[in-house]
A and B are shown apart, each in its own frame.
Chain A
Protein backbone atom coordinates (compact mmCIF):
# COMPACT_ATOMS: atom_id res chain seq x y z
CA UNK A 1 0.00 0.00 0.00
CA UNK A 2 1.14 3.56 -0.55
CA UNK A 3 -0.12 6.76 1.01
CA UNK A 4 0.03 10.34 -0.23
CA UNK A 5 2.57 12.57 1.54
CA UNK A 6 1.05 15.88 2.69
CA UNK A 7 3.86 17.31 4.83
CA UNK A 8 7.12 18.89 3.68
CA UNK A 9 10.10 16.58 4.08
CA UNK A 10 13.69 16.28 2.86
CA UNK A 11 13.18 12.54 2.38
CA UNK A 12 12.26 12.36 -1.29
CA UNK A 13 8.99 10.44 -1.80
CA UNK A 14 7.92 8.34 -4.77
CA UNK A 15 5.84 10.06 -7.44
CA UNK A 16 2.61 8.43 -8.62
CA UNK A 17 1.28 9.77 -11.93
CA UNK A 18 -2.38 10.82 -12.33
CA UNK A 19 -2.25 10.20 -16.11
CA UNK A 20 -0.85 7.14 -17.88
CA UNK A 21 2.87 7.52 -18.71
CA UNK A 22 4.02 6.91 -22.28
CA UNK A 23 4.78 3.22 -22.83
CA UNK A 24 8.43 3.12 -23.87
CA UNK A 25 7.77 0.13 -26.13
CA UNK A 26 5.26 2.22 -28.09
CA UNK A 27 7.07 5.58 -27.99
CA UNK A 28 7.38 7.50 -31.26
CA UNK A 29 10.83 8.44 -32.60
CA UNK A 30 10.22 12.03 -31.44
CA UNK A 31 9.34 10.82 -27.94
CA UNK A 32 12.42 8.57 -27.82
CA UNK A 33 14.56 11.50 -28.90
CA UNK A 34 13.05 13.75 -26.21
CA UNK A 35 13.58 11.00 -23.64
CA UNK A 36 17.22 10.62 -24.73
CA UNK A 37 16.74 6.86 -25.05
CA UNK A 38 19.99 5.13 -25.99
CA UNK A 39 21.01 1.46 -25.69
CA UNK A 40 22.87 2.34 -22.48
CA UNK A 41 20.16 4.57 -21.08
CA UNK A 42 16.81 2.84 -20.96
CA UNK A 43 15.74 3.69 -17.42
CA UNK A 44 13.28 6.59 -17.41
CA UNK A 45 11.18 7.85 -14.50
CA UNK A 46 7.37 7.86 -14.66
CA UNK A 47 7.50 11.65 -14.39
CA UNK A 48 9.58 12.02 -17.55
CA UNK A 49 7.45 9.38 -19.30
CA UNK A 50 4.36 11.46 -18.48
CA UNK A 51 6.01 14.58 -19.90
CA UNK A 52 6.88 12.62 -23.05
CA UNK A 53 3.23 13.04 -24.06
CA UNK A 54 4.44 16.52 -25.16
CA UNK A 55 7.90 15.68 -26.57
CA UNK A 56 8.45 19.05 -28.21
CA UNK A 57 8.21 20.88 -24.89
CA UNK A 58 10.11 18.20 -22.97
CA UNK A 59 13.07 18.38 -25.32
CA UNK A 60 13.48 22.15 -24.88
CA UNK A 61 12.65 22.17 -21.17
CA UNK A 62 15.37 19.75 -20.02
CA UNK A 63 18.38 21.81 -21.23
CA UNK A 64 16.67 25.01 -20.04
CA UNK A 65 16.17 23.51 -16.59
CA UNK A 66 19.82 22.43 -16.38
CA UNK A 67 21.10 25.83 -17.54
CA UNK A 68 19.05 27.75 -14.97
CA UNK A 69 19.97 25.50 -12.05
CA UNK A 70 23.54 24.44 -12.89
CA UNK A 71 25.32 26.82 -15.30
CA UNK A 72 28.42 28.42 -13.79
CA UNK A 73 28.68 32.06 -12.70
CA UNK A 74 26.09 34.25 -11.01
CA UNK A 75 24.27 32.94 -7.97
CA UNK A 76 25.59 29.90 -6.11
CA UNK A 77 23.85 26.59 -6.75
CA UNK A 78 22.74 26.36 -3.12
CA UNK A 79 21.08 29.79 -3.28
CA UNK A 80 19.31 28.92 -6.55
CA UNK A 81 17.83 25.98 -4.63
CA UNK A 82 16.33 28.43 -2.12
CA UNK A 83 14.49 30.11 -5.01
CA UNK A 84 13.21 26.68 -6.07
CA UNK A 85 12.12 25.86 -2.53
CA UNK A 86 10.34 29.23 -2.09
CA UNK A 87 8.22 28.56 -5.18
CA UNK A 88 7.57 24.97 -4.09
CA UNK A 89 6.38 26.09 -0.64
CA UNK A 90 3.98 28.66 -2.13
CA UNK A 91 2.63 26.09 -4.59
CA UNK A 92 2.81 23.29 -2.00
CA UNK A 93 4.69 20.95 -4.30
CA UNK A 94 5.83 18.40 -1.71
CA UNK A 95 7.91 16.44 -4.20
CA UNK A 96 9.84 19.41 -5.66
CA UNK A 97 10.38 20.83 -2.16
CA UNK A 98 11.84 17.51 -0.99
CA UNK A 99 14.23 17.13 -3.93
CA UNK A 100 15.50 20.69 -3.73
CA UNK A 101 15.68 20.89 0.06
CA UNK A 102 17.80 17.74 0.11
CA UNK A 103 19.97 19.23 -2.63
CA UNK A 104 20.31 22.50 -0.70
CA UNK A 105 21.29 20.60 2.44
CA UNK A 106 24.02 18.76 0.48
CA UNK A 107 25.35 21.84 -1.33
CA UNK A 108 25.29 24.13 1.71
CA UNK A 109 26.34 21.33 4.10
CA UNK A 110 23.59 22.61 6.36
CA UNK A 111 20.15 21.41 7.35
CA UNK A 112 19.21 24.38 9.58
CA UNK A 113 17.90 26.53 6.72
CA UNK A 114 15.64 23.85 5.24
CA UNK A 115 14.53 22.66 8.71
CA UNK A 116 13.34 26.21 9.41
CA UNK A 117 11.73 26.54 5.95
CA UNK A 118 9.72 23.36 6.45
CA UNK A 119 8.82 24.17 10.05
CA UNK A 120 7.55 27.70 9.41
CA UNK A 121 6.92 27.87 5.68
CA UNK A 122 6.47 31.38 4.31
CA UNK A 123 7.11 32.83 7.81
CA UNK A 124 10.56 31.22 8.17
CA UNK A 125 13.23 33.28 9.97
CA UNK A 126 16.63 32.88 8.27
CA UNK A 127 20.06 34.56 8.23
CA UNK A 128 19.80 37.95 6.43
CA UNK A 129 21.00 36.94 2.95
CA UNK A 130 18.97 33.71 2.84
CA UNK A 131 15.97 35.61 4.24
CA UNK A 132 16.11 38.18 1.44
CA UNK A 133 16.42 35.44 -1.19
CA UNK A 134 13.58 33.35 0.24
CA UNK A 135 11.22 36.30 0.81
CA UNK A 136 11.74 37.42 -2.78
CA UNK A 137 11.02 33.95 -4.16
CA UNK A 138 7.81 33.73 -2.12
CA UNK A 139 6.60 37.10 -3.42
CA UNK A 140 7.51 36.32 -7.02
CA UNK A 141 5.62 33.02 -6.77
CA UNK A 142 2.28 34.64 -5.89
CA UNK A 143 -0.38 35.01 -8.60
CA UNK A 144 -0.11 37.78 -9.67
CA UNK A 145 3.60 38.05 -8.81
CA UNK A 146 3.93 40.47 -5.87
CA UNK A 147 7.46 41.89 -6.29
CA UNK A 148 8.22 45.63 -6.42
CA UNK A 149 11.33 47.76 -6.85
CA UNK A 150 11.59 47.86 -3.05
CA UNK A 151 12.11 44.10 -3.08
CA UNK A 152 14.96 44.46 -5.58
CA UNK A 153 16.46 47.08 -3.23
CA UNK A 154 16.25 44.56 -0.34
CA UNK A 155 18.20 42.02 -2.38
CA UNK A 156 20.91 44.57 -3.20
CA UNK A 157 21.09 45.57 0.45
CA UNK A 158 21.60 41.90 1.34
CA UNK A 159 24.62 41.94 -0.99
CA UNK A 160 23.24 40.36 -4.18
CA UNK A 161 24.68 41.49 -7.52
CA UNK A 162 22.46 42.14 -10.55
CA UNK A 163 23.61 38.84 -12.09
CA UNK A 164 22.64 37.01 -8.90
CA UNK A 165 19.23 38.66 -8.84
CA UNK A 166 18.64 37.59 -12.45
CA UNK A 167 19.52 34.01 -11.47
CA UNK A 168 17.14 34.16 -8.51
CA UNK A 169 14.32 35.38 -10.76
CA UNK A 170 15.05 32.56 -13.21
CA UNK A 171 15.27 29.76 -10.63
CA UNK A 172 12.12 30.90 -8.84
CA UNK A 173 10.22 31.28 -12.13
CA UNK A 174 11.45 27.87 -13.31
CA UNK A 175 9.79 26.28 -10.30
CA UNK A 176 6.60 28.13 -11.11
CA UNK A 177 6.83 25.89 -14.17
CA UNK A 178 8.08 22.65 -12.54
CA UNK A 179 5.56 22.80 -9.67
CA UNK A 180 2.69 23.09 -12.16
CA UNK A 181 3.77 19.78 -13.70
CA UNK A 182 4.91 17.77 -10.67
CA UNK A 183 2.17 18.87 -8.24
CA UNK A 184 -0.61 18.77 -10.84
CA UNK A 185 0.17 15.58 -12.79
CA UNK A 186 0.92 13.26 -9.86
CA UNK A 187 0.96 12.56 -6.13
CA UNK A 188 3.97 12.27 -3.81
CA UNK A 189 3.61 8.87 -2.14
CA UNK A 190 5.38 6.74 0.42
CA UNK A 191 5.20 2.97 0.29
CA UNK A 192 4.33 1.43 3.63
CA UNK A 193 6.05 -1.90 3.07
Chain B
Protein backbone atom coordinates (compact mmCIF):
# COMPACT_ATOMS: atom_id res chain seq x y z
CA UNK B 1 0.00 0.00 0.00
CA UNK B 2 1.37 3.39 -1.00
CA UNK B 3 2.44 5.80 1.74
CA UNK B 4 0.30 4.36 4.52
CA UNK B 5 0.10 6.52 7.61
CA UNK B 6 3.02 4.88 9.33
CA UNK B 7 2.76 1.18 8.48
CA UNK B 8 5.46 0.48 11.04
CA UNK B 9 4.04 2.66 13.79
CA UNK B 10 0.29 2.24 13.45
CA UNK B 11 -1.75 3.44 16.40
CA UNK B 12 -3.40 0.03 16.22
CA UNK B 13 -0.12 -1.63 17.16
CA UNK B 14 0.45 0.53 20.23
CA UNK B 15 -0.05 -0.15 23.93
CA UNK B 16 -3.61 1.18 24.05
CA UNK B 17 -4.74 -1.00 21.16
CA UNK B 18 -3.12 -3.90 23.03
CA UNK B 19 -5.83 -3.64 25.69
CA UNK B 20 -8.49 -4.35 23.07
CA UNK B 21 -6.31 -6.93 21.30
CA UNK B 22 -6.36 -9.18 24.38
CA UNK B 23 -10.00 -10.07 23.63
CA UNK B 24 -10.61 -8.62 20.16
CA UNK B 25 -7.41 -9.00 18.14
CA UNK B 26 -9.35 -9.45 14.90
CA UNK B 27 -11.09 -6.11 15.41
CA UNK B 28 -7.80 -4.32 16.04
CA UNK B 29 -6.38 -5.80 12.82
CA UNK B 30 -9.45 -4.81 10.80
CA UNK B 31 -9.43 -1.30 12.27
CA UNK B 32 -5.88 -0.88 11.08
CA UNK B 33 -6.89 -1.89 7.56
CA UNK B 34 -9.75 0.60 7.69
CA UNK B 35 -7.31 3.33 8.71
CA UNK B 36 -5.24 2.59 5.62
CA UNK B 37 -8.36 2.65 3.43
CA UNK B 38 -9.26 6.20 4.50
CA UNK B 39 -5.78 7.73 4.85
CA UNK B 40 -3.91 6.05 1.99
CA UNK B 41 -6.44 4.59 -0.47
CA UNK B 42 -5.48 3.23 -3.89
CA UNK B 43 -8.03 5.63 -5.40
CA UNK B 44 -7.95 8.83 -3.33
CA UNK B 45 -10.37 10.68 -5.61
CA UNK B 46 -10.04 14.45 -5.19
CA UNK B 47 -8.30 14.18 -1.81
CA UNK B 48 -4.66 13.01 -1.88
CA UNK B 49 -3.13 11.06 1.00
CA UNK B 50 -1.19 14.03 2.48
CA UNK B 51 -4.32 16.17 2.60
CA UNK B 52 -6.19 13.29 4.24
CA UNK B 53 -3.49 12.97 6.92
CA UNK B 54 -3.71 16.70 7.72
CA UNK B 55 -7.50 16.51 7.97
CA UNK B 56 -7.28 13.33 10.07
CA UNK B 57 -5.08 15.35 12.44
CA UNK B 58 -7.65 18.15 12.41
CA UNK B 59 -10.43 15.74 13.46
CA UNK B 60 -8.20 14.29 16.19
CA UNK B 61 -7.66 17.86 17.44
CA UNK B 62 -11.42 18.51 17.42
CA UNK B 63 -11.65 15.45 19.67
CA UNK B 64 -8.98 16.79 22.03
CA UNK B 65 -6.53 14.02 21.09
CA UNK B 66 -3.23 15.80 20.41
CA UNK B 67 -1.21 12.56 20.39
CA UNK B 68 -3.28 11.12 17.56
CA UNK B 69 -3.07 14.43 15.68
CA UNK B 70 0.71 14.35 16.05
CA UNK B 71 0.82 10.79 14.73
CA UNK B 72 -0.89 11.82 11.49
CA UNK B 73 1.00 15.10 11.10
CA UNK B 74 4.29 13.22 11.26
CA UNK B 75 3.49 12.06 7.73
CA UNK B 76 2.96 15.60 6.37
CA UNK B 77 5.88 17.95 5.62
CA UNK B 78 4.24 20.69 3.51
CA UNK B 79 3.61 23.61 5.92
CA UNK B 80 0.48 24.69 4.00
CA UNK B 81 -1.04 21.24 4.55
CA UNK B 82 0.17 20.97 8.15
CA UNK B 83 -1.64 24.22 8.92
CA UNK B 84 -4.98 22.56 8.06
CA UNK B 85 -4.66 20.36 11.15
CA UNK B 86 -5.56 23.39 13.27
CA UNK B 87 -9.36 23.69 13.51
CA UNK B 88 -8.97 27.48 13.33
CA UNK B 89 -7.56 27.21 9.78
CA UNK B 90 -10.42 27.95 7.37
CA UNK B 91 -8.87 26.64 4.15
CA UNK B 92 -6.96 28.05 1.19
CA UNK B 93 -9.72 28.55 -1.39
CA UNK B 94 -13.51 28.52 -1.57
CA UNK B 95 -13.79 24.81 -2.22
CA UNK B 96 -11.44 23.87 0.61
CA UNK B 97 -13.24 26.26 2.96
CA UNK B 98 -16.54 24.55 2.15
CA UNK B 99 -14.99 21.10 2.62
CA UNK B 100 -13.35 21.94 5.96
CA UNK B 101 -16.49 23.61 7.34
CA UNK B 102 -18.39 20.45 6.40
CA UNK B 103 -15.78 18.18 7.99
CA UNK B 104 -15.82 20.18 11.24
CA UNK B 105 -19.61 20.04 11.44
CA UNK B 106 -19.77 16.29 10.75
CA UNK B 107 -17.06 15.63 13.34
CA UNK B 108 -18.23 17.91 16.14
CA UNK B 109 -21.89 18.83 15.56
CA UNK B 110 -23.09 15.66 13.90
CA UNK B 111 -26.69 16.00 14.99
CA UNK B 112 -26.97 19.40 13.28
CA UNK B 113 -25.92 18.13 9.84
CA UNK B 114 -28.75 18.56 7.32
CA UNK B 115 -29.47 18.12 3.61
CA UNK B 116 -28.27 21.66 2.83
CA UNK B 117 -24.78 20.78 4.06
CA UNK B 118 -24.50 18.16 1.32
CA UNK B 119 -26.01 20.62 -1.19
CA UNK B 120 -23.34 23.13 -0.15
CA UNK B 121 -20.58 20.67 -1.00
CA UNK B 122 -22.14 19.96 -4.38
CA UNK B 123 -22.37 23.70 -5.06
CA UNK B 124 -18.67 24.00 -4.19
CA UNK B 125 -17.92 21.46 -6.93
CA UNK B 126 -17.39 18.32 -4.83
CA UNK B 127 -18.48 15.17 -6.72
CA UNK B 128 -20.81 12.63 -5.11
CA UNK B 129 -18.08 9.98 -4.83
CA UNK B 130 -15.81 12.51 -3.12
CA UNK B 131 -18.58 13.43 -0.66
CA UNK B 132 -18.74 9.77 0.35
CA UNK B 133 -14.93 9.63 0.65
CA UNK B 134 -14.98 12.68 2.94
CA UNK B 135 -17.67 11.13 5.12
CA UNK B 136 -15.77 7.85 5.45
CA UNK B 137 -12.56 9.66 6.46
CA UNK B 138 -14.48 11.71 9.01
CA UNK B 139 -16.49 8.77 10.31
CA UNK B 140 -13.46 6.50 10.67
CA UNK B 141 -11.54 9.19 12.56
CA UNK B 142 -14.53 9.70 14.85
CA UNK B 143 -14.57 5.95 15.54
CA UNK B 144 -10.85 5.79 16.14
CA UNK B 145 -10.89 8.82 18.46
CA UNK B 146 -13.53 7.13 20.62
CA UNK B 147 -11.79 3.76 20.69
CA UNK B 148 -8.58 5.35 21.95
CA UNK B 149 -10.31 7.80 24.32
CA UNK B 150 -12.17 4.82 25.81
CA UNK B 151 -9.17 2.53 26.06
CA UNK B 152 -7.12 5.32 27.66
CA UNK B 153 -9.30 5.26 30.78
CA UNK B 154 -8.77 1.50 31.13
CA UNK B 155 -5.02 1.85 30.88
CA UNK B 156 -4.35 2.43 34.59
CA UNK B 157 -6.23 -0.71 35.67
CA UNK B 158 -5.02 -3.18 33.12
CA UNK B 159 -1.49 -2.03 32.23
Contacts and interface: CB of A to CB of B under 8 A. Distances in A.
Given A18-B118, A54-B129, A185-B118, A147 B27 contact: no
A144 to B, nearest CB: 3
B149 A140 contact: yes
Main SS at interface, chain B: helix
Contacts, number: 171
Given A67-B27, A166-B20, A53 B154 contact: no
Interface string B20-47: 1011101100110110011001110100
Interface band, chain A? 35 or more
Given A145-B63, A162-B158, A166-B19, A71 B24 contact: yes
A184 interface: yes
Contact of B34 (A57, A148, A170, A184): A57
Contacts of A92: 110-111
Contacts of A179: 110, 139
A145 to B, nearest CB: 4
Nearest to B113: A184
A147 B149 CA distance: 7
Given A174-B143, A177-B142, A181-B139, A50 B132 contact: yes
Contacts of B106: 180, 184
B146 A180 contact: no
Contacts of A172: 146, 150
Interface in A85-135: 90-93
Interface of B: 19-20, 22-24, 26-27, 30-31, 33-34, 37-38, 41-43, 45, 62-65, 106-111, 113, 115, 117-119, 128-129, 131-133, 135-136, 138-140, 142-147, 149-151, 153-154, 156-158
19 contacts: A18-B119, A53-B133, A54-B37, A54-B136, A57-B136, A67-B30, A74-B24, A143-B63, A145-B150, A152-B153, A162-B157, A163-B23, A165-B150, A167-B23, A173-B142, A176-B139, A176-B142, A180-B107, A180-B138
Interface of A: 18-20, 50-51, 53-54, 56-57, 59-61, 63-64, 67-68, 71, 73-74, 90-93, 140-141, 143-145, 147-149, 151-152, 162-163, 165-170, 172-174, 176-181, 183-185, 187
